Amino acid sequence: MSKRLWAVVAVLVVLAGAVIAIATYVIRDSADGTGAENLTDPPISGAMAQFILSKPPRPAPVAEFQDADNNSVSLLDFGGKVVLLNVWATWCAPCVEEMPALDRLQAELGGEGLVVVALSIDLEGAKAVRPFYEKHGIKHLGIYIDFTNSFSQLIGVDRVPSNLLISRDGLFVGKLIGNADWDSPEARALLRHYLAQPAP
């Protein structure tokens, strides 16, 4: 065998070893959760740095709350959509600060399958929420009420505002406690990650 042929064989052997090493690395990382699996994690940074993933995601409760006309509503009524459940109150200063951005968020991403469910815990219900919406120019959010705070307690909310994200298939995927900048690029990137997932 000529020296040139030996050189070609040697190069091929080295390349084959490199391919095997890379494949082994990828498979190992995928198995221990540090590699390919993480490609499915949403982008969490900047204004969304406090967003906490639910691992594993858990089914959202089917308990009911009320709409502006005192009709019973549950999260099942929003099936197939991504739901940003915002638990708030008109007397909560951080909530007041956050609501206009949530309203703009609904206007921008509602057509992509997002529903912002602003769930008030005001004891006066829609009587308190309607004038609040008018005063602050809230035009795109529905009115939802948790009169007894029972639904909020069921989902583990003990402060307002609290934001819980529910995927298209009805699973709690994460939460952000406290107000957040929903006008930020990071917020839209997080939500569009879940909006890109197909409906069941």
- The pLDDT, as a whole number, for residue 6 is 42
Q: Which fold has domain 43-195?
A: Glutaredoxin (3.40.30)
In this prediction, residue 51 carries a pLDDT of 96
What pLDDT, on the 0 to 100 scale, is given for residue 144?
A: 98
Cβ–Cβ < 8 Å for 117, 131:
no
Say if residue 197 is exposed, middle or buried (CB neighbours under 10 Å; 0-12, 13-18, 19+).
middle
| The pLDDT value given to residue 200 | 78
Which residues of the chain carry a pLDDT beneath 50? 5-39
Global pTM exceeds 0.85: no
What residue segments make up the domains of the chain, in order of their start?
A: 1-40, 43-195
User: What's residue 4's pLDDT?
Assistant: 54
| Residue 56, helix vs strand vs coil | strand
pLDDT digits (tens, 9 = 90+) for 58-75: 999 889 999 999 999 999
